[in-house]
Amino acid sequence: LSKSIENAIVGPGGIMNQHRKKMQLEWKENTRKYPNPIGTTGRRPEEDEFQETVDDVSLKLKLDSLADGAILDAGSSNGYLMKRLAPRAKIITGIDFCHEPLIQGKELYPEMMFAQGEITQLPFSDQMFDRIISYSLFHYLPSHEIVFKATAELFRILAPGGRLMIGDLLSQDHRHLIPKDDQERWSSKERAYMHQIQNWTFVSLEKMCDLLKQLGAQSVEVLSQVRQKRVNQYRFDIVADKKVSQ
C-alpha cells in the first residue's frame, strides 16, 4: 500500500509530476502570450512597482558590495529580473525548468548564461555562486518536501561568505491575511492552473529559517517586502549568509 501511495504521488503519472507538467505548459504559454520581457516575471507589474522591487531585492542581496562575483537566478524565466538587478555584473547565470523563456532570454541577453534544470538537482558544483536569488518561485513548487530539497540545493552551491535570497515566499502563518476578494478571485477554476491559490504551496517561515541554520547559515533573516499592503502582509523574503569557513 505504501508503495502504491508513493507512486501515486511521485511516480511518472503521479500528482507531483502532473503538477510540474501543468506548470511547465503554462509558463510556455506565458512566454508566448507576453513578448514583453516583464511579462514572464509572473504578476506583470507596472514599471514603477517593478523598479521598487528591483531596488528592494538589490539592497537585500547586497549586490553593491559584490565587485566581482558569480550570481545565479534560480527560476530565472528569461533573465529579465536579474538583468535589471545586476546590469554590470560579469558573471550572471539563469536557470529554469521551462525551455521557452530561456530561449527568449538568450536572444535578449546574449551576455548572460542560461541553463535548463530542476531546482532540486542543479547542474552546478558545490560553492559555485557568491549570490543566489530565487524570487517568486517557491509557491509554485508542489510540496513542502520539494521546497526543503530546493532550499538545501541552493545552499549547497552557495559559496562560503555568500548570500542567498529566497524571495516572495507565501507564509502559511499569514495566509488568513489575504484579502477575501483576492482569495475568491484566485480560487476560481477559470484561472490558469498556476494562478489558482489551491495549487500554491504556503510555507512555514520558522521551519525555513531552522533548515537554513541546520545547513550552516551564519545568519538568517525574514524581511518584509516594499510592495503594496494587500500583498506584503503574507509575502516575505528570507536572506541567509553562509559561513565563511563552511
pLDDT in tens, 94-127: 999 999 889 999 998 998 999 999 999 999 999 9
Cell of 198: 489551491
pLDDT for the residue numbered 241: 98
pLDDT for the residue numbered 15: 57
Q: List Cα–Cα distances, 6 to 11, 59, 121, 198, in angstroms.
A: 7, 42, 20, 21
72-87 pLDDT, tens digit each: 999 998 998 888 888 7
- Report yes or no on whether pTM surpasses 0.85: yes
Residue listed under C-alpha cell 507564509: 171
Q: What is the pLDDT along the chain (246 residues), one digit of tens a residue?
A: 444 433 333 444 445 678 888 888 888 888 777 766 665 555 556 777 788 888 999 999 999 888 778 999 999 989 988 888 887 677 899 999 999 889 999 998 998 999 999 999 999 999 999 999 999 999 999 999 999 999 999 999 999 999 999 999 999 999 999 999 999 999 999 988 988 999 999 999 999 999 999 999 999 999 998 766 667 889 999 999 999 975
Helix (H, G, I), strand (E, B) or coil at 106: helix
Residue 94, H or E segment: strand 91-96
pLDDT for the residue numbered 178: 92
Percent helix, strand, coil in the chain, to 5, is 50, 20, 30
